[in-house]
Structure 1
Amino acid sequence: MKLRSQARSRTILWGAIPVLAMTYLATAPTVPFTSIPLTVPYAAESPGPTFNTLAEFEGKPIVAVTGTETDPTSGNLNMTTVSVYSQLTFAQALSRWLVHDDTLVPIEQIFPPNLSQTEVDHQNKVQFSQSESAATLAALEYLERPTAVEVVDIVPDSAAQSILMPGDRIVAFAGQPITEPSQVREKVLAGQPGDTVELSVVGAQATPETQPETKTLTLGKNPDTGNAFLGITMGAVAADGTKVEYNLKDIGGPSAGMMFSLAVVDKLSPGELTGGKFVAGTGTIEENGTVGPIGGIKHKVQAAADAGAEVFLAPSANCAEAMSKTHEGLTVLKVDTLAQAIDQLNAYNSGGEVVRCEK
């Protein structure tokens, strides 16, 4: 056992065992002694795999940019993840906490009780898809490249079904030009279920000479919120023919957004953001480039350190937790926006002044 685990066990073991044991006994149903071991209502979080967004995954670039000239890249821009273990017995949970230094969290934080596993997986995939779209838009806007709104998917039995198609581009809403998905969302939410709206749309096979077609739709009602509902999933794309695709499978959630944006910027701009170094990080990304906090950052920092990273980019709101343990040779930099993350990397690579996370 590692020394840090031994020290930790001396201080908290005797208090922890009763808490876990009482929770285990209080939640466990009465079953025969010979039954399969019962599980505790906790999940364990630990450092997960980390992926270089400048590299390939299963033979494809994790961030593929086509339709335009790209700039050579080097080094690493690694996104980081958290591994989650559930269906743990009391002994397994205790072992992961004391021996592996995992974090134990109530199972409902990972798997909400009102959602099935399939629904949770779908929700994570949707978040990941939205994160990819926001990453693309944030990068293109940072680079001052024109953007457009593309229909990614249609919700069955929604207002858009049979009227819009995946690949359609929405260029105007009620006569007003559209360049970002958030503009469509704002206009839909400003309406009421039953309102009639007009969209100017060009199809997936349109040429620069193709004239937009007017599509008339009646807004539906969101079954969860009661708000007006168009019924489409949208993505941000480059308006100049540049195509950005993300080829990382079986990863959910929005926390890779900033690293995806950095990879797009690195491939579409002169020079190398990494300076040839091993950079890792995490953080959500908004369409306007704002970087948001994520969960499990201490495990992501650990994963980056274990992989050999020299620099870690952390959302400012996560700085205290990111610095809860010192990692020799790893510099943790504080970021709030995509532009700041790029400025921080440029300053670090040139020996300039950087803003570090503090405890």
Structure 2
Amino acid sequence: MSSRARALAVCTALVLALLVTVALAPLPYSVAYPGMTANVLGEDKGKPVITITGAETRRTSGELRMTSIVATGPDASVRLPDIVRGWFHTDEAVMPREAVYPVGNNTEEIAEHNAKQMKESQDTATSAALGQLNKSEKDIKVKLSLADVGGPSAGLMFALGIVDKLDGDGAGHDLTGGRTIAGTGTISAGGKVGAVGGVPLKTQAARRDGASVFLVPRKECADARAELPNGMRLVPVSTLDGAVDALKALRTGGKVPSC
């Protein structure tokens, strides 16, 4: 074998070794998938998701489903083949690990952070809903119970559930119009809807669980359209008032915002 051929063989072997190393090396990414959904007007593990005391509540029909994603853990090894596969599967998304787990270095810290965010989300959802109805938090107490879910992204759906249970559309009808409606979005105490992550995966989870309408933060319309399941209607919202008005229009056949 000539010296040139030997050099080429060595270089080829080194390149192959490098490619194998890169393919097998853990990378700072997480792979996310469509997660569970839950009807905030119903029960979770045998307990009502929303319990209200101090005011008469309505019997509701239809469903308001919060949505979620699940992702590989902070300690999981995500390698190049996992990332490549995620690019070609609509029910998977490759996300920077710090975007999925912005706080904490282990599962315990992350679970504690997510639980804190969920509690804050429940409190602001209560404030937003009662404020929208001009009702006092001193007189009405709301307890929200949803096991095994963390983070703030269920805030909008919690607030809508409280409004539906207390007042519906204000004219004796359900906000849902009997439909299964899903959505996502943070909520502020003043009723402002904020953006969240993983919207394309959440629309898939919603369609899987029977929803035909998805409430999405207005700023995330483009993301939601990217992998929108067949038969799913997107309704962009930026405030709780706007979400309530959109659901009323949907029930009555009025003009409904679209992405």
CA shift digits 1:259-307 (9 cap, x unpaired): 0000000000142000101100000000000001101101111111122
Tell me: CA distance 1:113–1:59, structure 2 relative to 1, closer, same or farther (3 Å): closer
TM-score under structure 1 normalisation?
Answer: 0.61
* Residue in structure 2 matching 1:139, options 116, 129, 148: 129
State how far apart, in whole Å, the 1-side matches of 2:95 and 2:214 are. 25
The structure-2 alpha-carbon separation of the partners of 1:291 and 1:100, relative to structure 1 and needing over 3 Å to count, comes to: closer
Tell me: CA distance 1:299–1:335, structure 2 relative to 1, closer, same or farther (3 Å): same
Aligned counterpart for 1:350 among listed residues 234, 252, 255: 252
Deviation at 1:108, TM superposition (A): 2.5
Q: Which amino acid aligns with 2:31?
A: A
Distance 2:36 2:138 in 1: 34
Which structure has greater helix proportion? 2
Q: What SS does the aligned partner of 1:308 have?
A: coil
How far off is 1:138 after superposition? Answer: 0.3
Residue identity in the other structure for 2:88? L
Picking from 54, 60, 63, the partner of 1:67 is: 54
**What secondary structure sits across from 1:276 in the alignment?**
coil
Residue 65 of structure 2: aligned partner: 78
Deviation track 1:187-209 (CA, whole Å, cap 9, x = no partner) reads xxxxxxxxxxxxxxxxxxxxxxx
* Contact 2:28–2:78, Cα closer than 8 Å, also in 1: no
- 1:310 is displaced (CA, Å) by 1.5
Shift of 1:100: 5.9
Q: Are 1:312 and 2:214 an aligned pair? A: yes
- Residue number among 110, 130, 145 corresponding to 1:120 in the alignment: 110
C-alpha distance in 2 between matches for 1:273 and 1:113: 36
> Between Structure 1 and Structure 2, which shows a larger proportion of strand residues?
1
For 1:109 and 1:312, locate their aligned partners in 2 and report how far apart those are by CA, in whole Å: 23
**Contact 1:283 1:294 survives alignment (8 Å):** yes
Contact 2:104 2:110 in 1 (8 A): no
Match of 1:129 among 119, 136, 150: 119
Which of 132, 151, 166 aligns to 1:268? It is: 166
In 1, Cα distance between equivalents of 2:165 and 2:101: 37
Q: Which residue of 1 aligns with 2:8?
A: none
SS at match of 1:137: helix
Any gaps of 5 or more consecutive residues in structure 2?
Answer: 1-14
Distance apart, 1:38 and its partner CA: 5.8
Q: How does 1:264-303 map to 2 (within 5 A)?
A: 264-269=162-167, 270-303=172-205
Q: Report the residue type matching 2:216 in the other structure.
A: A
Distance 1:332 1:89 in 2: 32
Structure 2 distance, partners of 1:292, 1:89, is 29
* Secondary structure at 2:59 match in 1: coil
Aligned: 1:239 with 2:138: yes
Quote how far apart the aligned CAs of 1:249 are. Answer: 1.2
Note if 1:107 corresponds to 2:97. Answer: yes
Conserved 8 A contact 2:125-2:187: yes
Percent identity, aligned pairs only, is 40
Is 1:332 aligned with 2:231? no
> What is the CA–CA distance in structure 2 between the aligned matches of 1:113 and 1:313, rounded to whole Å?
27
Distance 2:209 2:53 in 1: 29
- Paired residue for 2:5? none
Q: Distance in 2 between matches of 1:78 and 1:351?
A: 21
Secondary structure in structure 2 of the residue aligned to 1:248: coil
Q: CA offsets per residue over residues 21-73 of structure 1, 9 Å max, x none?
A: 86x846x9xxxxxxxx8643221011111111011011101111123211110
Deviation at 1:327, TM superposition (A): 2.7
Unaligned 5+ residue runs, structure 1?
1-17, 29-36, 147-237
Q: What is the match of residue 243 of structure 2?
A: 341
Measured in 1, the distance between the counterparts of 2:97 and 2:229 equals 29
* One-letter amino acid of the counterpart of residue 181, structure 2: V
**Counterpart secondary structure, 1:323:** helix
Deviation (angstroms), 1:77: 0.2
**1:104 positional shift:** 0.9
